[in-house]
Amino acid sequence: MSGRDYPLSLGVDTGGTFTDAVLVDHEHERVVASAKALTTYHDLSVGIREAIEAVVTSSDLSRRVQLVGLSTTLATNSIVEGRGNEVGLIMIGYDQRLMDAYRLHAGLATQHYAFVAGGHDEAGQERHPLDESALREAVEQFSQSVDSIAISGYFGVRNPQHEIRARAIVAEQTAERASGALPVTCGHELTSRLDSIRRAMTAVLNARLIPLLQDLIQTLQHVLDQHSIRAPLMIVRGDGSLVQSSWAITRPVETILSGPAASAVGARYLLGNNDMWVVDVGGTTTDIALLEKGLPKLNPFGAHVGSWQTMVEAIDLRTIGLGGDSRVRPRHADDRHVPVEIGPTRAIPLCALAHSHDGVVAALQAQLNGPPRDGYAARFVTLRARVTHALSDRDALLVDLLQEGPRTLDELSRHPVLTYNLSTQIASLTARGIITESAFTPTDALHVLGLFNRWTTEASRMAAELLTRDTSMTEREFAELVVHECSRRIAENLILCAVDVPHDPAPHPSKTPGLAQRMIDRIVGRSASQEFGLSFSLSRPITAIGAPVQAYLPLASELLNTSCAISEHAGVANAVGAVAGMVVERIPVLIQPLEVDGEARYRVHLTDSTRDCEELEDAVELARRIVTPIAGSRALDAGADHVEVTMVRTDERASSSHGTDDLYLGTKLVFAAMGRPRTLHAGAPERVSP
């Protein structure tokens, strides 16, 4: 390709509120086109198709697309919501009595599990032979009740041979099933860290997510086929790297935090800064991450999603329940610390609801004409998706009332059957994904101020009037208060990130120790105390992404005396990040000192076995010789082009209590294979849809 016929990359991001699409010209480092569509939960293909069709407007553009990238919140949301298939967990060498005594089963993320004798010790030595008979019996039992299998061997990360053998047995025993052999996930493939329960749970979550990610990928591929786009499809992992879709389907748990990771990578691409704080303001949450030397800082403990602390290597993220769709509630007059409460509950902005449904503006006007109804003003309920759940008579009545469109809580509270315990009923149906609430949000505040005009501004203005009836504020003053409080919350959490305060997901900072909170209040402008002054600034600049961050981040950065950059394409940075990353495969290797038959040895824990050497340097060289080509091959399989492999060595020592030489504890090697994603133009095969 030459001249104006330059190659393009198509980035797609399926977020909680919007699905974004961009066309990126890497040759000239520019965004050619971008578009947003509402994410359609009932059928993701609708939103994906709308966004792609808005940027791929001709067959010429379709032909020039050489790479497609996808970032997604699917894995994160599915884990939080408990969705996915049934998984059978095979636990090799685990102590069943110990697990029973300490009630550890709740941490396994499945009710289908079986204990099989076998496993290894910390040095990788076999503790007991693998009980293949018991294994086959467990597989036979699972085959009628589960859709996939997870395998976790005790100390399987030190020697995975039992996990590998068990996988082969599962494949052999389930090969004759009408739907094909059961998919299998092995714990050692996902992490090299110890903690047998968390490793087993991570393997279960991975197995649970396989069909969900497969469906999403097939949906996107179908839309791409309709536009004759045959370029390879890459998926963003939680560490910001890219991997081809066929690889991601087998390890979908690695796409946890894919969206925020893509945001950080996209911000670096758009602004060209390798060291900065990235603030991503979304619909439900605001995510804060640190970019160091061009790469997102990773969480050393693994990604935390919902109630699960996984062992997935992912971006180190501070997430607060604050976004454009956060519900806003005025506080009582006697609570002056924070005059409005924002989030973490999500609601459809009233301006968006009125844009989609007739009658919303009239209902708001009716409330303005009537007496004040504290707690019910400017709140609506609507159906979220087609009902597939079994409902009680009371719930079925509410769902029937919503079939014709949104209803106000004011109206529902007057219904003779629903008036009792209505709030609890709505909360329950919302948690089950059946209904959703609409209320005043920061997006409505921006509509009132004229800073964002995508939907029906009149609905936002009327709601603000309803919420300020008993105050001396005007609608505009109320909207300004909401925007300022959002800015202060972002600034406050940037401070907590910078001083490395552990993250508390509480929506408000009330749990921060008293003195620290008073200092933070002074910095972000909530306190006008004249007793002391503070000057605070971040050592790295801030970049803001999301739409429309121009309303929040200038004030937040001003409070922190820190520069802030906002790209003209900040609203689609996630989609840009879906095609701006690198393919990165990391393989950790542990070398342990041990004594064998009275002789000192160094044990090398490789990807599929262990090897012993007499000298440390021989052990390091053995690992380098064996693992380097494996890392390179994995990167190529993951979709990389022109791979380079590096090795980082860390010798761990402890000081001797006698003041003599330090005690050698072991050596950690990390092999990293890295390359740009292989495009269609660069020789990648055409994508073949399933």
Write the pLDDT tens digit of every residue in 571-595. 999 999 999 999 999 999 999 999 8
The whole-number average pLDDT for the span 510-536 is: 67
| Residue with the larger pLDDT of the pair 650 and 679 | 650
| Residue with the larger pLDDT of the pair 335 and 322 | 322
| Residue with the larger pLDDT of the pair 532 and 507 | 532
What is the spatial distance between Cα 587 and Cα 669, in angstroms, rounded to a whole number?
Answer: 8
β-partners of residue 151 are 90, 186
505 confidence band (pLDDT: 50, 70, 90): very low
Q: Is 357 helix (H, G, I), strand (E, B) or coil?
A: coil
The whole-number average pLDDT for the span 20-33 is: 94
530 confidence band (pLDDT: 50, 70, 90): low
Residue 658: predicted pLDDT = 62
**Percent of the chain surpassing pLDDT 90:** 61
Write the pLDDT tens digit of every residue in 176-191. 887 788 899 999 998 8
| Residue with the larger pLDDT of the pair 636 and 74 | 636
| Residue with the larger pLDDT of the pair 68 and 42 | 68
514 confidence band (pLDDT: 50, 70, 90): low
Write the pLDDT tens digit of every residue in 652-685. 988 766 655 678 999 999 999 999 999 876 555 6
The whole-number average pLDDT for the span 51-70 is: 94
Q: How many CA atoms lie within 13 A of 86 on its CB side?
A: 9
Residue 3 above 50 pLDDT? no
Residue 529: predicted pLDDT = 63
Q: Which residues contact 139 (CB under 8 A, 6 or more apart)?
A: 88, 90, 149, 169, 170, 173, 174
Task: Return the sign of the alpha-carbon dihedral for residues 506, 508, 513, 516.
Answer: positive
- Burial-class residue 423 by CB neighbours within 10 Å (0-12, 13-18, 19+): exposed
What is the spatial distance between Cα 257 and Cα 72, in angstroms, rounded to a whole number?
Answer: 8
The whole-number average pLDDT for the span 64-89 is: 86
Pick the range with the lowest mean pLDDT from 201-205, 236-240, 363-367, 659-663.
Answer: 659-663
Residue 267: predicted pLDDT = 95
Q: Alpha carbon of 397 to those of 158, 411, 412: distances in Å?
A: 57, 14, 11
23 confidence band (pLDDT: 50, 70, 90): very high
Q: Which residues contact 467 (CB under 8 A, 6 or more apart)?
A: 328, 330, 377, 378, 440, 478
Residue 131 above 70 pLDDT? yes
Average pLDDT value over all residues in the chain: 88
Residue 512: predicted pLDDT = 56
What is the spatial distance between Cα 277 and Cα 299, in angstroms, rounded to a whole number?
Answer: 15
Residue 510: predicted pLDDT = 46
The whole-number average pLDDT for the span 601-627 is: 95
What is the chain's alpha carbon radius of gyration, rounded to the nearest angstrom? Answer: 27
Q: What DSSP line would sit under 433-449, residue for residue?
A: TSEEEEE--HHHHHHHH
Pick the range with the lowest mean pLDDT from 158-167, 257-266, 413-422.
Answer: 413-422
The whole-number average pLDDT for the span 364-391 is: 85
Task: Enter the DSSP assignment of 315.
Answer: B
Number of C-beta neighbours around residue 33 at 10 A? 17
457 confidence band (pLDDT: 50, 70, 90): very high
On the question of a cis peptide bond just before residue 588, with omega within 30 degrees of 0, the verdict is: no
Pick the range with the lowest mean pLDDT from 102-106, 415-419, 480-484.
Answer: 102-106
Q: Which residue has the tokens 């690992």?
A: 623
The whole-number average pLDDT for the span 107-128 is: 92
The whole-number average pLDDT for the span 465-474 is: 91
Phi and psi dihedrals of 662, rounded to 5? -60, 150
